[in-house]
Amino acid sequence: MVTMNRALLAAVLATGWLAGTQAQEPKRDPSVLAERVAAVRPRIDSAYEGLTELYKHFHTHPELSLQETLTADRLAKEMTEIGFDVTTKVGGHGLVCIYKNGSGPTVLVRTDMDALPVIERTGVPYASKVRVRDKNGNEVGVMHACGHDMHMTCWVGTAKTLVALKDRWKGTLIFLGQPAEEIGTGARMMLDDGLFKRFPRPDYCVALHCDARLPAGQITYSEGLAMANVDSVDVLVKGRGGHGASPHTTIDPIVLAAKMVLDFQTIVSREMNPTDPVVVTVGSIHGGTKHNIIPNEVKMQLTVRTTRDDVRKNVLDAIKRIARATAESARAPEPEVTVNLSEFTPALVNDRKLARRLVGVFEEVLGKGKVNERPVIMGGEDFSRYGRDGIPIFMYFLGTIDQKRWDESLKPGATPLPSMHADSYWPAVEPSIRNGVLTMSLAVLELMGK
């Protein structure tokens, strides 16, 4: 059996992932869903202009992880005006917005709020021009290159819709505004601050995420395992500096670092079972100040992606072993290898039964051809943490590319569509907002509707 920690094992067994069980889609009355769609669409129409303005505001005013002060203030204002009881500063800049509407299920709808240190090059009229200093004092651009601005807009639109239709559902809504998703710490911070102790414990948690390579109007999803474990690893390679013309008097940490970069790749190619997905990427390497100076040290930053906890342990142990062996082979000081547990993101495991239930709704509304299962991807999402102690969770992916751009990208020799986190990614505003609010509103009504 796969080796996992208890929390993940419980969540996985609940989904039937290991057992291979197939959750049964519940039967629903098509006329009820049709009535809900007919009620939701006019609400989206009436709110659309304001939601578009809100989206462009978020896009032009992005804030980095742990700095989401103004974003949280704006969301708190919007949710208070809608009628939610809003608590701010939960786990940093996190928001917990509660709307009670009688006896019934408690459903949590989550959005993330933070942006990325990326200089925007989309060319749209509302492009971000924000420049700030990061935690290391470097000047960086700031951009919503992962679609969190669209997530927030759909979140507010869904809240407006559900409150306007409160005669159609019963229970408690928890709309969660989460900080610091991009660095994998926001969910943990909110949970550590008593999220499920100070506030009602949800029966279900749901969220959507933009997809940069999926046409607007389509949705993808995963049943069970959806996204990977994510670890951040820092390696400080130590040497003995000196003159570049006299390398024999030094221990060159740049050469050692180069060896480590290459040998780290053999962890995946020669130490892991080929059927176990693993990624080891050196995303940052810095050392030296001048052409003819051999430095004393080199700093490397790695991201490690795995889907099983036993594989995760083996990969992290191998990184430490290779780094130390490489240093020893050159009589260099022992390197420092640090696994940053504060940025660890556990694997995202969707609840199978919940996924089937909500996917059934999406298929009836959008058509089965526009709702497709996606394979496991090696990205990370700390939304996973809300399901670690048994709460059913489900995240689905929202197509955001307009049809013309999509068609152009398929032509021979065409430039591929940008991925998430690219400086040239932007969602098609109207279809993304409309489909995001429609699908999320119907998902919640499915779980809470009369």
For 104, residues 6+ apart whose C-beta sits below 8 A from its C-beta are: 169, 170, 171, 172, 448
CB of 102 closer than 8 Å to CB of 198: no
Given 63, 68, 120, 182, which residue is catalytic? Answer: 182
Q: What are the b/e assignments for 128-155, b being 16+ CB within 10 Å? A: bebeeeeeeeeebbbbbbbbbbbbbbbb
Phi, psi of 257 (to 5 degrees): -60, -40
Q: From CA 399, how far away is CA 209, in angstroms rounded?
A: 9
CB of 346 closer than 8 Å to CB of 384: yes
112 is catalytic: yes
CB of 381 closer than 8 Å to CB of 395: yes
Given 112, 149, 252, 297, which residue is catalytic? Answer: 112
Q: From CA 445, how far away is CA 450, in angstroms rounded?
A: 8
Structure tokens belonging to residue 262: 């290459």
From residue 164, alpha-carbon distances to 34, 41, 178, 225, 346 in Å are 17, 12, 24, 35, 36
Number of neighbours of residue 98 by Cβ within 10 angstroms: 17
CB of 387 closer than 8 Å to CB of 11: yes
Please tell me whether residue 291 adopts helix, strand or coil conformation. coil
Active-site annotation, residues: 112, 182
